[in-house]
Amino acid sequence: MLNKNEDNERHRLFSRRTLFLAGGQAALLSALAGRMYYLQVLQSDRYVTLAEENRINLRLLPPPRGRIVDRFGVPLADNQQNFRVVLVSEQAKDVVATLDALSRIIELGEHDYKRVLREVKRKRGFVPVTVRDNLSWEQVSRVEVNSPELPGVSIEMGETRNYPYGESLSHVLGYVAAVSERELTGDPLLELPGFRIGKNGIERQHDLLLRGAAGNSQIEVNAYGRAIRELTRDEGKPGHEMVLTIDAGLQTFVHKRLSNEKSAAAVVIDIKNGDVLALSSVPSFDPNAFSMGLSSVQWRTWIEDPLHPLTNKSINGTFAPGSTFKMMVALAALEAGIGPGHKVFCPGFMKLGRSRFHCWKRHGHGWLEMRQGIQFSCDVYFYDLARKLGIDRIAAMAKRFGLGAQVGIDLPHERGGVIPTRDWKLAEIGEPWQGGETLVSAIGQGFVLTTPLQLATMVARIGSGGLAVKPRLTRGIRAENGEGVEIAEPVFESMGIPPQHMKIIHQSMDAVSNHRRGTAYRARIEEEGWELAGKTGTSQVRRISLAERAAGVTKNEQLPWRRRDHALFVAFAPVDSPRYACAVVVEHGGGGSKFAAPIARDILIETQRRQPALKPALPLVAGAVPDNEA
């Protein structure tokens, strides 16, 4: 009986354990089925996406950079095919031997060897490494012919920026170069190998529009990341085409004419609409060097050059305007009620306290009225006006004509110059204004500093009869589909200068160039209907001692170049119907009438000769451009 009870107890215990085990198995199977349902049904979309991401590699494609063209559609900056030779290390097997064989076909320097070997170690074996780019067609042909002896070597094609006009437009266009670390913004496009952005000039000013929108390519890869095939490809959107106001032919002429000088700048403006037809600075540089790969030697040569070829002197160089500033003093005097008949006797100097302020003409000009004061550029006449006016009235007039502040042209790095006032000196130098400083400022010396662009703007406003002409470089924008926007033709406001005052200034500048006794008569335009009206300027860069003045002032030609005067000339043409304004500055050139005026004359002759061609030929859709894009 006892044994039977024990058997029953053991049977019940076994049954319970079997039941527990079966229940546990059922629970586990239920959990597994639930998890499988969750993963395969509820989360199927997510894991399909993750699987696709492991299988498909999405790559960004850099868009073609937009062209830059002149007012007639002539390409100033475009893209050209760039052939490069690449090496796949796993195919080459012996990389050094392959490089040695390649060096017998195209030139490879020690730097190329080190760079390629460094990248081969850093990258996977199937990733191509650039050995040399910007190959000529002849070099490409030699590599292709010898390809059986060059395992792992192949030719790829890309694009590089090209500037057909080279040095003549480098300061206007700027250049493109690789993205530096501080320029990274999180945009993945900027991190692409070899991607370049605008670093200066129009390339920088309109960089975002010129870049375009990136494309993409979907590449199927295996577990090791090796590309198997391309699934889809979207080329993206090319950058916009920028239409400038520049006339490439005139720009080339101006650059060539200035190239006879060591350092100079010139600006030509269409008075009617503010279009900058030419803007040149010499010495210059070749922007193609940045696209082709600038050597450290060349970069060091440019930045150490005392003539500063990388600086755009037309907007960034500041110079004392000399006698070109005298029109501002005359207009301030007219506004203050001093009439054009106001007479001053010039004995060759003016006394103020214990100091003498000399005229450029040692023995003086005698009695002069305002027109003659400008025509003969008499310093004493303007000393007299300055004493009556004070510096603040002169400064107020100069600022109305665009001097002493950025004029707002669509280029980076424009400088504002200086038009001093009493408050300015106190704030900047911490000293009160002196009466002698007013006299010196009246002849465009002392603290007064202007850029060639400001001087061109000043004379454009004079030529317009007193309109607030504002220079511009961008005329329109064109998209890939051919549609474009032309920046609306500007309407300039009056500056409130009485017409009779402007007439006096016009007549005075006319006499400077077209009267036999005018300071620029030898640089006049003789073609009827093309005559110019101008004003010479010579600004000193050194102080002339009393001993030197008594013995005779040393001529510029006898001085070291850096101690010579700056030569300046401003002008508008034609006299009877002003259309074009020009400013020329020859750094350390000497006298303005001798060195700057002939250059301006030649430029204005060429400008008017090209007049029938100055209407833009590009059909653009009329409209407005946002301020941040104009």
Query: Residue 173: inside a domain, yes or no?
Result: no
Lowest mean pLDDT among 39-48, 304-313, 444-453, 619-628: 619-628
| Token reading at 389 | 């006016």
| CATH code of the domain covering residue 608 | 3.40.710.10
Query: According to the model, what pLDDT value does residue 621 have?
Result: 36
**Band of residue 442 on the pLDDT scale cut at 50, 70, 90:** very high
What number is the average pLDDT over the span 149-160?
81
**Band of residue 215 on the pLDDT scale cut at 50, 70, 90:** confident
pLDDT tens profile 56-74: 666 667 788 999 999 999 9
Query: According to the model, what pLDDT value does residue 11 have?
Result: 64
Query: According to the model, what pLDDT value does residue 439 have?
Result: 97
Task: Indicate the number of domains in the chain.
Answer: 2
Same domain, yes or no: 135 and 260: no
Look at residue 434 and tell me whether its pLDDT is greater than 80: yes
Query: According to the model, what pLDDT value does residue 296 have?
Result: 78
Q: Which phi and psi angles does 134 have, rounded to 5°? A: 55, 45
Query: Residue 191: inside a domain, yes or no?
Result: no
**Band of residue 158 on the pLDDT scale cut at 50, 70, 90:** confident
Q: Is residue 442 packed enough to be buried (19+ CB in 10 Å), middle (13-18) or exposed (0-12)?
A: buried
What number is the average pLDDT over the span 392-418?
96
* pLDDT, greater one: 13 or 450: 450
Query: Residue 454: inside a domain, yes or no?
Result: yes
- Alpha helices of 56-168 — where are they, by DSSP H? 89-92, 95-103, 110-122, 137-145
CA distances for 218 relative to 57, 191, 235, angstroms: 6, 18, 12
Query: According to the model, what pLDDT value does residue 126 have?
Result: 64
| Token reading at 226 | 């090796």
Q: How many CB atoms lie within 10 A of CB 482?
A: 9
* pLDDT, greater one: 21 or 174: 174
Query: According to the model, what pLDDT value does residue 86 have?
Result: 82
Look at residue 129 and tell me whether its pLDDT is greater than 70: yes
Lowest mean pLDDT among 144-148, 398-402, 466-470, 514-518: 144-148
**Band of residue 150 on the pLDDT scale cut at 50, 70, 90:** confident
- Structural domain boundaries enclosing 103: 89-151
CA angle 533, 582, 418 (to 5 degrees): 105
CA angle 211, 214, 219 (to 5 degrees): 150
Query: According to the model, what pLDDT value does residue 618 have?
Result: 42
Same domain, yes or no: 122 and 259: no
Single out the residue in 126, 151, 176 at which a domain terminates.
Answer: 151
Query: Residue 9: inside a domain, yes or no?
Result: no
- Is residue 460 within 8 A of residue 274, CB to CB? The reply is yes
Lowest mean pLDDT among 155-164, 234-243, 334-343, 536-545: 536-545
For the ranges 8-17, 184-193, 565-574, the one whose mean pLDDT is highest: 565-574
* pLDDT, greater one: 210 or 479: 210
Single out the residue in 97, 132, 151 at which a domain terminates.
Answer: 151
Distance, CA of 346 to CA of 565 (rounded, Å): 23
* pLDDT, greater one: 516 or 14: 516
Distance, CA of 519 to CA of 492 (rounded, Å): 32
CA distances for 10 relative to 4, 17, 18, 149, angstroms: 10, 11, 12, 85
Query: According to the model, what pLDDT value does residue 614 have?
Result: 62
Query: Residue 347: inside a domain, yes or no?
Result: yes
Single out the residue in 151, 173, 189 at which a domain terminates.
Answer: 151
Query: Residue 157: inside a domain, yes or no?
Result: no
Lowest mean pLDDT among 112-116, 225-229, 312-316: 225-229
Query: Residue 10: inside a domain, yes or no?
Result: no
What number is the average pLDDT over the span 216-223?
64
Same domain, yes or no: 121 and 261: no
Sole residue written with tokens 């007439």: 503
> Hey, which residues are catalytic here?
323
Look at residue 301 and tell me whether its pLDDT is greater than 70: yes
Distance, CA of 454 to CA of 472 (rounded, Å): 12
* pLDDT, greater one: 60 or 533: 533
Query: According to the model, what pLDDT value does residue 625 have?
Result: 34
Query: According to the model, what pLDDT value does residue 219 have?
Result: 65
Same domain, yes or no: 317 and 448: yes
**Band of residue 27 on the pLDDT scale cut at 50, 70, 90:** confident
Query: According to the model, what pLDDT value does residue 201 have?
Result: 96
Distance, CA of 383 to CA of 446 (rounded, Å): 13
What number is the average pLDDT over the span 296-316?
92
Half-sphere exposure (CA, 13 Å, Cβ side) for 27? 6
List CB contacts of 389: < 8 A, sequence separation 6 or more: 329, 332, 333, 336, 338
Q: Across all residues in the chain, what is the average pLDDT?
A: 85
pLDDT tens profile 252-296: 999 999 999 999 999 999 999 999 999 999 999 999 998 877 777
- Is residue 180 within 8 A of residue 190, CB to CB? The reply is no
pLDDT tens profile 452-473: 999 999 999 999 999 999 999 9
Same domain, yes or no: 144 and 276: no
Is there a cis peptide before residue 574, judged by omega within 30 degrees of 0? yes
Same domain, yes or no: 560 and 435: yes
Query: Residue 58: inside a domain, yes or no?
Result: no
Q: How many CB atoms lie within 10 A of CB 528?
A: 7
What number is the average pLDDT over the span 288-308?
86
